[in-house]
């Protein structure tokens, strides 16, 4: 009852303030004029339509403002879920925030040097937004932009998967153009900086059933154990979609058809997406770009030989 009386008091004060407002009085006079008009009046029809639009616009704006914190939280939760998924730590029914906090540590990496950047708060850093900010990004030379992204952020957010205080694997953000869209995802790499654990694309708009198969768990499973960098000079791969790779250079690629694991070089090959040659080429290009010197090669070179090192 006290709360109801307080609300009534506030309402009465609001009405008193409005009654003293000149614009409100003009509005009341005009409203009475409109309501007195015939329902067939053009002026009344337009006035009612405008009033409805204004009311709807206000309600939508209020809803957007009220729901924004929830939208941001859901977006962050979805990202954590994708990271846990590619890390192989996603368990049904387990609290995502708790699992992420327990096993995952975010770090900011300077792509040019491969060093960690401690001056930037990883929790607040948005790499996709940074790529759109001229002060935080850099244009990619056309001859090196094989992933067709044109601009990249100077710093990247990587995720370290911990086990007993040691680094078990490293999750790298990757993106590049496919057939219809820019694919955004994560590549999970062993602490040796060479062996792939998993791959996951969380944002893409490729053709369902063709290029869209990049999210198929069966296809994603083919990446486990594949090698990123050529351990010997690799010739142009049979039925491949790429040229040769020199020793130490990125060699991982999708091929046309099914990989023959009995052949030399198969450790650098993944089955191409059936009927989606351009998407397959796009995936190859984005993997090669982000594991090259333009991407995470300087960083991975510093962790490749220190598997299990403390961070």
> What confidence score (pLDDT) does residue 244 get?
66
pLDDT at position 128 over 80: yes
Nearest to 298 by CA among 143, 114, 22: 114
Q: What is the mean pLDDT of residues 106-113?
A: 96
pLDDT at position 141 over 90: yes
pLDDT at position 26 over 60: yes
Taking the model in full, what pTM does it have? 0.76
Which residue do the tokens 């859901």 mark? 74
- For 208, list phi and psi in degrees, rounded to 5: -55, 135
Q: What is the mean pLDDT of residues 299-309?
A: 70
**CB of 167 closer than 8 Å to CB of 116:** no
Alpha carbons 263 and 240: distance in angstroms, whole number: 13
> What confidence score (pLDDT) does residue 224 get?
97
Alpha carbons 161 and 169: distance in angstroms, whole number: 5
pLDDT at position 2 over 80: no
**CB of 96 closer than 8 Å to CB of 281:** no
Alpha carbons 156 and 125: distance in angstroms, whole number: 9
> What confidence score (pLDDT) does residue 311 get?
45
pLDDT at position 104 over 90: yes
């Amino acid at each position: 009852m006290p709360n109801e009386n307080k609300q009534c008091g506030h309402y009465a004060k609001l009405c008193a303030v409005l009654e003293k407002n000149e614009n409100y009085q003009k509005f009341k006079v005009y409203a009475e004029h409109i309501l007195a008009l015939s329902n067939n009046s053009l002026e009344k029809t337009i006035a009612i339509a405008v009033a409805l639009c204004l009311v709807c616009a206000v309600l939508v704006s209020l809803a957007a403002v009220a729901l924004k914190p929830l939208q941001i939280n859901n977006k962050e939760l979805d990202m954590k879920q994708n990271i846990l998924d590619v890390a192989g730590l996603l368990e049904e029914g387990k609290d995502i925030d708790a699992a992420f906090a327990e096993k995952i540590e975010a770090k900011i990496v300077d792509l040019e040097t491969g060093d960690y950047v401690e001056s930037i708060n990883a929790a607040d850093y948005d790499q996709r937004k940074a790529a759109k900010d001229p002060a935080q990004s850099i244009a990619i030379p056309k001859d090196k932009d094989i992933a067709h992204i044109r601009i990249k952020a100077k710093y990247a957010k990587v995720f370290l998967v911990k086990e007993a205080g040691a680094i078990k694997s490293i999750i790298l953000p990757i993106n590049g153009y496919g057939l219809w869209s820019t694919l955004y995802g994560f590549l999970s790499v062993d602490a040796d900086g060479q062996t792939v654990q998993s791959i996951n694309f969380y944002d893409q708009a490729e053709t369902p059933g063709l290029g869209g198969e990049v999210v198929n768990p069966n296809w994603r499973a083919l990446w486990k154990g594949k090698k990123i960098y050529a351990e010997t000079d690799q010739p142009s791969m049979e039925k491949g979609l790429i040229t040769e790779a020199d020793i130490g250079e990125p060699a991982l690629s999708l091929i046309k058809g099914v990989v023959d694991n009995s052949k030399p070089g198969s450790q650098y090959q993944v089955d191409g997406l059936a009927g989606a040659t351009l998407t397959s080429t796009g995936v190859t290009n984005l993997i090669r770009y982000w594991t090259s010197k333009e991407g995470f090669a300087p960083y991975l070179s510093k962790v490749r030989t220190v598997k299990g090192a403390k961070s």
